[in-house]
Structure 1
Amino acid sequence: MQNSKFRYYNGEVFAGKLSPLVLALFCLNHPAFAADTVPPAELAKNLEFSSSFLQLDDQNAVDLSRYANGGYITPGTYSTAVYVNGMSIGTMDVTLRERKDKTVYPCMTDTLLRQIPFRYDHLPDHFFDKSGECGDLKKQLPEAVTQFDSSEMSLHIQLPQLYVSNNARGSVSPELWDSGIPAVILGYNLNGYQSTSGGYDSKSLYAGINAGLNVGAWYFRHNGSYNWDQHGKKKYDAINTYVQRDIPFLRARALAGQANTRGDVFDTLPFTGVKLATDERMLPESRRGYAPEIRGIAHTNAKVTVRQSGAVIYQTTVAPGAFLIDDLYPSGYGGDLQVTVEEADGRKQIFNVPFASVVEQLRPGATRYEIVGGNLRNDYLSNQVALYQGTIRHGFTNWLTGYGGMQLSQNYYAILGGAAVGTPVGSFSFDVTQARMHLPGTPEVTSPGQSYRLSYSETVNSTSLSVAAYRFSSSGFMDFMTAQQTVDAMQHGGDMTSVWRSRSRYSITASQALPENWGQLYISGSVQDYWNKNGSDKQYQIGYNNSYGSVSYGLSAGRTYSRTGSEDTYLLTVSLPLGRSDSSYRPQLSMQMTHDSNGRTGEQATVSGTGGEDHQLSYTATAMNSNQGGGQSGALNAQYRTPYSDLSVGWSGGKNYHSESLGASGTLVAHSGGVTMTPYTSDTFALIEAKGATGASVSGYPGVHIDRFGYALVPYLDPYQMNEIILDPKGASDDLEMTSTEKKIAPYYGAVVKVKYGTKTGTPLLVNATLNGEPVPFGADVLDEQGRSVGSVGQGGQLYARVEQEQGALRIRWGKGSSGACQIRYHLMPMAAGQKRGVQTFNSVCEPLLSRRSTDRKLLAMQDNPRDTGA
């Protein structure tokens, strides 16, 4: 079939494909082709076209006057890519209408206008009130220019810079943020584990949930976990329950319920109350929240549990060898993490990961704040403790940021002030905290003190990250939590030495790329000592990574101090791919050797890979050997991502022990159209609705397909930023036609935004149409029975359309009134049950609208030699 769309040349529109001779004659007589640099808007002014080039018997059959003032397309509704000053704002249905001078303009509906990043304070009064059902932007803003390119199905809107937001690249106006639809959300993470070691059986179950209810812009959330142990307690821990609502004009979020303070100035604290705090993700090029990486070594299939402030916030099963947890979702920005690695043979490793962030600098004029009021939430304190806290940071210049804060309670106060300074050698911050604690009823028992903190951070080309922090506290200083624990201990007969008080703490993290491909060196460590405790807490780690061709290798050494003494650990790793280099499924072989100061050594080899069309299957097989009675052992682990849930299974066994584990994770979302499931867990979703597109996939999200009800959940959206969601019809029915496949949304954090894609199902037709014995006019529009444009007539009167009904009519329009239109009636060939319809091709006479012949006999007579191409 020939291309039937209009084509633009230097701002003008040609209908379909003209012959080289006609095009040459046109170009010779058209001055526009002699001025390559003239803007298109200045080319099309009161031009005249000769219909003789179209070789029509009736030279008045096609009204060419509609092309006299620039590119023309027949009025109708089209799925269109919209651009504003060259920047894409998404694809949407755009309705075109005709003015009195026969020029066409796009309807600027309220939905379309809200997608444009206007400077709202510069728009004329009542600008949106004038849009109505089909506003003309030219009348609302005379300086505006709109151009519709039908060859690319795109609408280009040019606006003076006065009316367009000049925010930083990537920013999105709050007017475009979408709070989503009413929905019920349930994210789950299930892990069952059992082990047998030396005749001792142990079974445990972990179930973590992230539940939510969205009503308008109000989001209710509950996070908790249930822990069951065969020989221990069965307990459900409610991590937090709260309701939140964004306040866009403040770039902040209000929250009420159980939550945590942010922890960027003071240490994070759990509370029950209310909070108002800015969210940097609402700003252009914002930085996401920080969470530390957790690294460790498992000798068997081990259960890893992460706790913060005594609550379990993460649990998973890891395969033998070095592991990395970098997808942690902590409940705050501060507060050390306690990591427990429980081996299948009963051994346990327990270590802490420091979790503190260096105060960052802000841009000039930027402000961040947090206001909290309520009660401290801690199950280990006997009395209820009030907590009132306020923090603020403000950027004064490019190099100076000031920050401060205050904490108040019935028995405690703390005031903090400091500054962050940027220098050519890195960023420094220094702050001082003055605090005072007293025991109610005994005014003489007080503990005033100061704490001094110095931090340093640097990021340069050769150093990916370098952070160092030092804090010294006087003997009387207590932070908020230490003070409350001390008060509680004294009320129960203890003294001020019952709770350890920090004296000094030093931490460092650095990663340095060595010159000339010599690899990368990294170090980390922390040291902390106390006023009322002997010794200190220490841990160090140093490592080196490099590669040679496709072989990667690394060496690391670490030392950890605990109550029972210190332990040194050494690790050598080598990994290389197996199989053909052009295969995306080739497995990876990893080998490692470990040695510690207790004399234990071990070797292991692991083969891992993926399978399936979307790499939905992942697997690892590990063989191990160790001394000191460990002997030989092995482990198998597999993970399979179904369309509804992410399933995992593991087994390991060795001398006198074995273990098994089962896991599942995913999310369910209940909405007005039913319940939709996904194997992914996320806090912000897009709910795609594409009725009839079962099997279609979402580009960039492996395993996300439209289900049989016409829905799919897209996870991991960036809140307050434009997210492009592209629907790929591959995998859907051959009878499906998508009216749009690409849309953009900017969701609130925690929203479920509904994204609706128009679909058409039916049989494709290829018709050779004639009128009075001649092909129907070239370039004429083809409309369906609802009046929507479904194509144009190509050369030889050939047209293509997709129809849903077994029989009906298509309207061909090339001029004004009934004399400029005709209609084609069709009747589809019968098909056997279950047989797929291909493109049906037939010849047909186009009936003038003045002659309404509609009997079935004449209708069948018009379809000369129908045939099915089987395409």
Structure 2
Amino acid sequence: MLNTLKVRHTFAPSVLGGLMSLAGTALGAGDIEFNTDVLDLSDRSNIDLSRFAHSGFILPGTYSMVVQVNAQPVSEQSVTFYPPDDDPKGSQACLSPALVGQLGLKATQAAGLASWRGGECLDLKGLPGTQVSADLATSRLNISLPQAYLQYSAINWDPPSRWDEGVPGLLVDYNLTAQSIFQRNDGQRKNLSGNGTVGANAGAWRLRADWQGRVENGRESAAGPQKLEWSRYYAYRAVPSLSARLLVGENYLYSDLFDSFRFTGAALNSDESQLPPNLRGYAPEVVGVAKTNAKVIVSQQGRVLYETLVAAGPFRIQDLNDAVSGTLDVRVEEQDGSVHTFKIDTAGVPYLTRPGQVRYKLASGRPTRLQHGAEGKTFATGEFSWGISNGWSLFGGGITDSNYRAMSVGAGRDLLAFGAVSLDVTQSRARVWNESLSGKSLRLQYSKNFEAYDSQVTFAGYRFSQENFLSMSEYLDARYYGLNGERGSRDEYVEGRDSWKPLGASKALYTVTLNKQFRDLGATVYASYNKQTYWNRSDTQRWNLAVSRYFNVGTIKNMSLSLNMYRSEDYNYKGNGMSLMVSLPLGRTGTLSLDANSGSGKNPLAARYSDRLDERNSYQIGASNQSASGYLSHMGDAADIDLSASTQKGSYSSLGVSARGGGTLTPYGAALHRTQSTGGTRLMIDTAGVPDVPVRGYGSPTRSNAFGKAVIADIGSYQRTSASVDLERLPANVEATQSVTQLTLTEGAIGYRSLEVISGEKAMAVLRLPDSSAPPFGATVKNLRQQDTGIVNDDGHVYLSGIQAGERMIVSWGGAERCTVTLPTILPMDGLTDALNLRCQLLAADQSSTDPAALTGTPIDTENTSS
């Protein structure tokens, strides 16, 4: 005889999904019959397998689920299941119009969907080949859609319909550097400098205020007591329907045709970061050599963009924002008191556009100074690029105010395997000091990513300007600073002045950037060259060359030889430097370097050893015949901290510290955290109130604070981001039932996701009802947060997790909550050998009966069937 159990109303499988293998017959009429003879149970009549008996059935209700489209997570949200109109005993996921809008359907397919429940839900059955299924075991709603119905997507990039604007919140980000330098001749100097962003998010809008400041020696300087200044107030938002970014307030003109200057007004620009990664531009790089542990400051027109401490030796800054354009000022402050400055002219790739598309940039406002004062008349500018065909793009634009106008037109050509090239010409007309000036400027650009040849970026640019050609920024300088840089009247003409010639007018600009790998030789070459010539002042130029090669010598493997050279010439500075370094690995992660540096004065030869203490801490120590230095970098949960110290015999000693971090406040909580870019995108992870849970994005993990909140800042905008619990570093009394989440955030968004984490001890327990009977086999136990903590085995035995002394847990079977258990205040030393005996107190609705079979709330048919 074979005993079978037939159940008509079910949940989908949970942690005991393996029980589906007990099915004695094939699925028929929506029911699954379990062969209970294979279960080693003392009482086969007291079983509740309702959660596992009906394939695909979800009890009507609302569940928190991760929505997946073609196996790619889209979002985590509440999904409601209702009985469909044609099957009152079944259930179907209600796909709301908002949820369907995130699937990335093409407009024609989305418009043809049928609705049910009065328009509350949409039905995908009208799209052939589409499947929708739910899995409570993994809390996922799986949607399979043919690719022909979907908008364009790429690896790690989602269409705009899936972007997440984040939650409302406040943020404060900072980057601080403090230094104390004692020089034998000048005494002690102290300085504190920093920059950062204060902001608020409301819907799609990002409100931001940038600040920067510097204090020297803790006392007032000639500039007065005020050292902190707010460099910019602005607000921006994404406009996905236009693939654009709208910004109002104080801004810099980011143009592919005209030079950059500061203004107050509004700008609407096509946003490259909203495009798939293979269609985006690149960010500028800053390369140099530090003679000592040094502070590097990158600024533009007085506004600090980047500030950091670097260890002695070559440095390369690659994490500048790709929206930065124009000329950058780089200042290297050495700990021996010397200062090295140079400029970098950032290059833009040829202005090409995909066939049939139009990219544009519009702006209007008044030019302003860093101190927020107006410095010009109202201007307007616009530019576009139109993809005519697969190979050609046409672009152009104009900029004008009452005394200045410039027009530009050009064309770009995709040379396929040979890269891309563009040529444009700009005509300007300006009236300054009662004189009209007119001239042309010609520009040629070339760019190519030679992936097959391991060349990451190659750029070459040339621009020639006639003597009377004025860019907008040159026009503003001429109008307000005159011939010799002395500020004149804004509108009056100075009589007796000779024929006006622009001071420092550009003549020609040459730019080349190359990054090449030679895999057969184990070598990498990076080179850049910038030269700017002028009509009536000396030229400026800078070139960098970095060559590195890996090789083996006998039994010593992975040695490296690197050469870094630079030369910089400006009208008030000339300098060059060279660093030759030989490195060999020591131990598992250490590196010993021997460095010859032509720019180190008394210390041309030095030895350095660098190593990692762990994933969060690294250090470098160095010594030469007359000096010693040390550098320590710590990646903390609340901030990144760098320490540096150095001394030189008879000359100086110094100590420096920098900290970079931020704080984020949302309606769900607050946390201090590391930060990548001030005011940038971030993701708050809620670990259900459990502290010290390690979570990570792409970099090192960070741990949740005392309130169970952590913020991950190493994520990008408009690209699919994963955040996960670091299971290898979980505390012993914590387990994660949901460890991974994915989403795509817009620029500046504060994302929010919760991960199911259970905290508490683990122990065996025996559950008993008031009449000493046991809950049925397969009953579930949950804590007050509705997290699964165990499933009842034979005779009431259950292995519980997440045990908190004195708390309550709820036992459910038959699709309803039945009774509660109160955990003891003193837990056993060994939860596996000393089982807890727990009384399960019936809930009020079930006080009338203690028969488990009667309490199931669902019809159960037990039959004896011949085998």
Q: How far apart in 1 are the matches of 2:309 and 2:49?
A: 72
Aligned residues of 1:49 and 1:64 also touching (Cα < 8 A): no
Q: How far apart in 2 are the matches of 1:356 and 1:644?
A: 35
Aligned residues of 1:137 and 1:144 also touching (Cα < 8 A): no
Q: Are positions 1:638 and 2:625 aligned together?
A: no
Amino acid at match of 2:297: T
Aligned to 1:123: 110
Aligned residues of 2:764 and 2:832 also touching (Cα < 8 A): no
Q: Are positions 1:275 and 2:267 aligned together?
A: yes
Q: How far apart in 2 are the matches of 1:198 and 1:49?
A: 90
**Aligned ranges for residues 417-816 of structure 1 at < 5 Å?**
417-423=409-415, 424-439=417-432, 442=434, 445-460=435-450, 461-462=452-453, 463-488=455-480, 489=482, 496-497=500-501, 499-514=503-518, 516-517=520-521, 519-533=523-537, 535-548=538-551, 549-563=557-571, 567-579=575-587, 581=588, 586-595=589-598, 602-612=604-614, 615-625=615-625, 632-654=626-648, 655-672=650-667, 675-682=670-677, 683-700=680-697, 701-728=699-726, 738=736, 740-758=738-756, 766-767=764-765, 778-779=777-778, 792-794=791-793, 798-801=797-800, 806=806, 810-811=810-811, 813-814=813-814
1:768–1:85 CA distance, 2 compared to 1 (3 A): same
SS class of match (1:398): coil
1:159–1:513 CA distance, 2 compared to 1 (3 A): closer
Q: Are positions 1:389 and 2:381 aligned together?
A: yes
SS class of match (1:219): strand
Q: How far apart in 2 are the matches of 1:783 and 1:342?
A: 59
SS class of match (2:476): helix
Q: How far apart in 2 are the matches of 1:217 and 1:161?
A: 29
1:620–1:52 CA distance, 2 compared to 1 (3 A): closer
Higher mean alpha-carbon deviation, 304-313 vs 793-802, is at: 793-802
How many angstroms does 1:695 deviate by?
0.4
How many angstroms does 1:541 deviate by?
3.4
Pairing partner for 2:172 from 186, 194, 204: 186
Aligned to 1:84: 69
Q: How far apart in 1 are the matches of 2:268 and 2:574?
A: 44
Amino acid at match of 2:196: I
Q: Which runs of 5+ in 2 are unaligned?
A: 1-6, 552-556, 851-867
Superimposed CA distance per residue, residues 601-629 of structure 1 (whole angstroms, 9 cap, x where no aligned partner): 711111222324xx33332211134xxxx
Q: How far apart in 2 are the matches of 1:603 and 1:764?
A: 60
Q: How far apart in 2 are the matches of 1:638 and 1:647?
A: 8
Aligned residues of 2:734 and 2:760 also touching (Cα < 8 A): yes
SS class of match (2:277): coil
Q: How far apart in 2 are the matches of 1:743 and 1:358?
A: 35
How many angstroms does 1:105 deviate by?
3.4
Superimposed CA distance per residue, residues 35-85 of structure 1 (whole angstroms, 9 cap, x where no aligned partner): xxxxxxxx7556774767568999987799998974556666666554333
Higher mean alpha-carbon deviation, 265-274 vs 75-84, is at: 75-84
Q: How far apart in 1 are the matches of 2:92 and 2:745?
A: 30
Q: How far apart in 2 are the matches of 1:337 and 1:638?
A: 28
1:48–1:384 CA distance, 2 compared to 1 (3 A): closer
Pairing partner for 2:347 from 346, 350, 356: 356
Aligned residues of 1:45 and 1:68 also touching (Cα < 8 A): no
Q: How far apart in 2 are the matches of 1:47 and 1:293?
A: 64
Aligned to 1:375: 366
Q: How far apart in 2 are the matches of 1:52 and 1:79?
A: 32
How many angstroms does 1:274 deviate by?
1.1
Q: How far apart in 1 are the matches of 2:629 and 2:506?
A: 43
1:609–1:479 CA distance, 2 compared to 1 (3 A): same
SS class of match (1:481): helix
1:500–1:136 CA distance, 2 compared to 1 (3 A): closer
Q: How many residues align?
A: 802
Aligned to 2:855: none
Aligned to 2:865: none
More relative contact order in 1 or in 2 (CA 8 Å, sep 6+)?
A: 2
**Aligned ranges for residues 128-143 of structure 1 at < 5 Å?**
130=117, 135=121, 137=123
Amino acid at match of 1:199: N
Aligned to 1:628: none
**Aligned ranges for residues 145-156 of structure 1 at < 5 Å?**
145-149=131-135, 154-156=140-142
Higher mean alpha-carbon deviation, 805-814 vs 351-360, is at: 805-814
What's the C-alpha RMSD, in Å, of the aligned pairs? 4.2
Amino acid at match of 1:293: E
How many angstroms does 1:296 deviate by?
1.8
How many angstroms does 1:480 deviate by?
1.3
SS class of match (1:123): helix
Q: How far apart in 2 are the matches of 1:146 and 1:510?
A: 49
Aligned residues of 1:130 and 1:140 also touching (Cα < 8 A): no
Higher mean alpha-carbon deviation, 354-363 vs 733-742, is at: 733-742
How many angstroms does 1:711 deviate by?
1.5
1:839–1:376 CA distance, 2 compared to 1 (3 A): farther
Aligned residues of 2:210 and 2:230 also touching (Cα < 8 A): yes
Q: How far apart in 2 are the matches of 1:390 and 1:348?
A: 40
SS class of match (2:263): strand
SS class of match (1:265): coil
Amino acid at match of 2:423: F
**Aligned ranges for residues 244-393 of structure 1 at < 5 Å?**
244-285=236-277, 290-329=282-321, 333-378=324-369, 383-393=375-385
SS class of match (2:578): strand
Aligned residues of 2:690 and 2:758 also touching (Cα < 8 A): no
Aligned to 1:862: none
Aligned residues of 1:782 and 1:792 also touching (Cα < 8 A): yes
How many angstroms does 1:779 deviate by?
4.5
Q: Which runs of 5+ in 1 are unaligned?
A: 1-5, 31-42, 626-631, 816-820, 855-871
1:509–1:246 CA distance, 2 compared to 1 (3 A): closer
1:177–1:540 CA distance, 2 compared to 1 (3 A): closer
Amino acid at match of 1:448: S
Q: How far apart in 2 are the matches of 1:79 and 1:401?
A: 47
Higher mean alpha-carbon deviation, 381-390 vs 691-700, is at: 381-390
Aligned residues of 1:551 and 1:575 also touching (Cα < 8 A): yes
1:791–1:71 CA distance, 2 compared to 1 (3 A): farther
SS class of match (2:503): coil
Amino acid at match of 2:504: W
How many angstroms does 1:565 deviate by?
7.7
Aligned to 2:554: none
TM-score (norm 1): 0.81
SS class of match (1:483): helix
Q: How far apart in 2 are the matches of 1:432 and 1:104?
A: 65
1:809–1:595 CA distance, 2 compared to 1 (3 A): closer
Aligned residues of 1:693 and 1:733 also touching (Cα < 8 A): no
Higher mean alpha-carbon deviation, 599-608 vs 406-415, is at: 599-608
How many angstroms does 1:183 deviate by?
2.1
SS class of match (2:105): coil
Aligned to 2:403: 411
Aligned residues of 1:13 and 1:70 also touching (Cα < 8 A): no
Q: How far apart in 2 are the matches of 1:672 and 1:812?
A: 32
How many angstroms does 1:225 deviate by?
1.0
How many angstroms does 1:698 deviate by?
0.7
How many angstroms does 1:374 deviate by?
0.8
How many angstroms does 1:452 deviate by?
0.8
Q: How far apart in 2 are the matches of 1:599 and 1:298?
A: 12
1:200–1:16 CA distance, 2 compared to 1 (3 A): closer
